[in-house]
A and B are shown apart, each in its own frame.
Chain A
Amino acid sequence: MHVAIIGNGVTGVTAAVRIRQRRPDWRITLISGESRYHYSRPALMYVFMGHMRYEDTKPFEDSYWAEQRIDLLRAWVTEIDTEQKRLHLLDRDPLAYDRLLIATGSKPNRFGWPGQDLEGVQGLWGLYDLKRLYDTAARTEQAVIVGGGLIGIELAEMLHSRNIDVTFLVRERSYWDNILPKEESGMINEIIRAAGIGLRLETELKEIVSDDSRRCVAVETGNGERISCQLVGLTAGVSPNIDLLRESSIETKRGVLVDSSLRTSAADVWAAGDCAEILRPEADRNLIQQVWYTGKLQGELVGDVIAGEERAYDPGIWFNSAKFLDLEYQTYGQVNMDVPGEKNLFWRHPDQQLAVRIVYTDDGVVGVNLMGLRWRHEVCERWILDKRPVHWVLEHLAEANFDPEFFRRHEPAIQSALREQIA
């Protein structure tokens, strides 16, 4: 049995390791055109800023793959032939497979902006983007970043660390306010400005302007402002990377359509991670999840299923985390999702960048947001699963604390402020 896996990101790698654990004698080929070995994509920024070397971003030693008998193939797949069960590769002979996993991840969104294909305009997703950033930074004094999300602020921080003047165009009224409530979002606006990064809220990109050599030299905003820049970062979200499948028989919509066991419409072909769109006939929309842990979870599941153990995907209680410049953020459950009957409690430290939000209904707590504070995943998840009443949660706040030892404790202040808000 030969399993081919397209994509050596966290999903493809998790699946490969999983299949190897369950099927010691199967042949496994992990294909990537991007890198020889698996690396941690979220760590790209640290390479550029000098916190880590590229080799430090690799979660496994190079010798691991041979030890585990997982074949690594550096190649771009150009076509999937589901009839013949063959992969066509760029500049290489085709590769036959018995079972196939598509784990091609995401790609940056481009909304058809005039000038989006100019030199100096790029997203930030893979090593090829990092390489381009190195090349472009050599002639960049000013940069404009379009789109106020997680990748945008990382790119802003990266360029800022090389003293490049950064202007951040955010279409919304406040940074990432489609995800964050206005208080948390406002805190991030503050720290972006305090760091000396130009923040233009409610500002859309109208056009990227070039010189004669097709290099970008400026952007024009919807407000008619012209900002000169030699680099434009397009970071207005990501979408499933399914270009490869356009001419194949595998059904796609926004992503590769899969059932709850991550099986595609083609025989012996699965898809998992950012590129997969999980059909949910019972809900009003399908499920596309594009964060690290869901890539890992889906990789685990699909590894089991490919190896012969049938399971259905259960995403569990949502969580995520991020770091905005120096400000850490964690979220658990449903926050800013308009849960029917939801009420919000919010505490912010009078002079530090620390905040807590608890979202609850009459049935109990449904979500938590944390800025600058660390809480325990297991505890928050348990509260939400058990639908603990908000009073109970406030009573047990200290159990969630995950800040390093000797950090100032804020539970008494949080408890008294939030109890007052309830009253």
Chain B
Amino acid sequence: MIDETLSNYDFDEEDVGFGAPPMLPDAPLSWARRLSAIGIAAGLFLLVLFFFGIDLGGGWSALFSTLGLLSLATALWFYLDFKDTEPGIKHDRTFFRAIQNRSLLGWSLGIAISGFYIVLYFYDELQAKGLPAVLERPIRLLDPLAELTQGGESSRWFLYGVLYTLAIVLFGVRMLMKYRHNRYQRIRTVSVMFFQFGFAWFLPNLLIYFKRPYMEFNGVWPLKHDYLWPGGVDGFLGAGNFGIFLLVWAIGLVVATPILTYFYGKRWYCSWVCGCGGLAETFGDPWRQQSAKSTGAWHIERWLVHGVLIAVLVVTLALWGNHLTDGRVFGSSAYTLKQWYGFYIGAIFSGVVGVGFYPVLGNRIWCRFGCPQAAILGLWQRVFSRFRITTNGGQCISCGNCSTYCEMGIDVRAYAQNGENIVRASCVGCGVCSAVCPRGVLKLENGSFADRFEGADEPLRALRESFEKPEIYGYRAWSERNRQA
């Protein structure tokens, strides 16, 4: 006989599901948190006033009372948000908060970010079609900072650089507090903040100040495709010895890529140095759980990301072919290809979709589905690297926290529950799977490249086999492997 409470149970967990359980109100906010909330509101309010043409004292005074106040208050808010909690994984309510999910609010935020990218990228074209000069006031707000760091007037690209860097720094504070029990996360977060601020913002501005060719020092071809396209190379060559240095730097990073990836995996770039990765790991962290985990998404990913890699190689070859033969090889079609790549991949994919859809598709859309540099790093990581994520014997309880919080949509659990190493082209080594595991099962490690998986000592064969669907299903307890060994 079975219990009546069971035989009467007919809840449909699939179609009805479990949402947020009822809860009692939170304790009132501390005075310090109220103060930071007031600071954020005041900064936003003054920003709106400034936008509509109200004079806030001009120059630095306007900048400090708007963006300055907003930034300080936001950093304070993030600091206080975690300060009084015990150090540890703080994911309570992640799936209950509208802003972190595919709710009306989440979609609205996504559309707003996409809209900002569209206005930014196509500002001139849109203005020609009657869009008011909405970016004019924000650009003017940054004039004093542009004067100081670039030695000239602010522009929409300067505005973008400041906002981008601010997002990484402010949400970096959030990451540092959220993961303050985890030194890997803290050091990594400081790293992306450093590379964005120093390599991608401060030094490039200095180049503009001294009227040198522009370059972000953490950018690598083919992510920064134009650095090694004929136009970019000509620019470097025409800028004297310093230009040669920049060209050597750009080529040096391309050469360094396989070497560093061999030693440390793809992560040395994607989650420690890269600007796109930096934004994803800081500003994008609240949405990492939105990444698609299905096999279908994985198939799309493989076709798309390698498709973009092939596209950028074709465009690069076409441009150089033309350049070296005075346009005899591809004619004007090379130029069309270049325009096409810059528009669809450079602007729409990496910006409008790649960042705009954070709240809907997770924080690594571009890195996972589009970035050609990630594709190259991934191929190296898959077949010729010492990096892997190891699983700790039989301790996995298949809870799924690792898969849920994997921003690249890797089903980490499928490997962990089988006691297998995770060696995947897409893994950016952010280390969050290891951080959220409640049983201490996962560890990012560099070891010998040959013992990562069966057949790893033959990289070319492993590459060929990786194109077939991997056998990732089924519980195969760790004990069995031990018995065989």
Contacts and interface: CB of A to CB of B under 8 A. Distances in A.
A378 B92 contact: no
B414 interface: yes
The secondary-structure label for the interface of chain A is mixed
Residue picked from A162, A195, A319, A381, most chain B C-beta under 10 Å: A162
B23 to A, nearest CB: 4
A381 B479 contact: no
Interface in B27-43: 27
A325 B414 CA distance: 25
Contacts of A90: 2, 7
A163 B86 contact: no
Interface in A225-247: 243-244, 246-247
Interface residues of B, number: 71
A40 B397 contact: yes
A36 B440 contact: no
Contacts of B25: 163
Contacts of B403: 56
Interface stretch (B14-22, B63-71, B141-149): B14-22
B404 A325 contact: no
A316 B400 contact: no
Given A36-B13, A78-B2, A299 B95 contact: no
B299 interface: no
A265 B9 CA distance: 31
A374 B444 CA distance: 13
B484 interface: no
Interface string A289-302: 00011001101100
A341 interface: no
Given A17-B474, A374-B440, A405 B3 contact: no
B23 A43 contact: no
A250 to B, nearest CB: 14
A17 B414 CA distance: 14
B454 interface: no
Interface residues of A, number: 83
B13 A162 contact: no
Contacts of B95: 50-53
A60 to B, nearest CB: 7
Nearest to A381: B393
A243 B9 CA distance: 16
Interface string A34-62: 11110010110011111111111111110
B238 interface: no
B395 A162 contact: no
A137 interface: yes
Interface stretch (A124-132, A169-177, A215-223, A271-279): A124-132
A421 interface: no
Interface in A380-423: 381, 402-408
B477 A297 contact: yes
A300 B480 contact: yes
A203 interface: no
Contact of B14 (A36, A49, A191, A403): A36
The secondary-structure label for the interface of chain B is loop
A330 B440 contact: yes
A246 B1 contact: yes
Interface stretch (B182-190, B197-205, B209-217): B182-190
B22 to A, nearest CB: 4
A13 to B, nearest CB: 7
A406 B187 contact: yes
Interface in B237-257: none
B219 to A, nearest CB: 26
A137 B21 contact: yes
Interface string B276-296: 000000000000000001110
Interface stretch (B73-81, B152-160, B430-438): B430-438
B392 interface: yes
Contacts of B24: 141, 162-164
A405 B184 contact: yes
A107 B440 CA distance: 27
A318 to B, nearest CB: 11
A191 B25 CA distance: 23
Nearest to B439: A321
B93 A49 contact: yes
Nearest to B395: A321
B417 interface: yes
Nearest to B443: A402
B91 A51 contact: yes
A164 to B, nearest CB: 6
A54 B393 contact: no
B218 interface: no
Interface string B90-131: 011111110000000000000000000000000000000000
19 contacts: A17-B473, A40-B399, A43-B400, A48-B18, A48-B21, A50-B93, A50-B94, A76-B2, A76-B7, A128-B11, A163-B27, A164-B24, A244-B1, A244-B2, A293-B395, A328-B440, A376-B393, A402-B440, A403-B443
A-B pairs, 8 with minimum CB distance: A377-B393, A326-B88, A374-B440, A162-B23, A163-B24, A43-B399, A323-B438, A50-B93
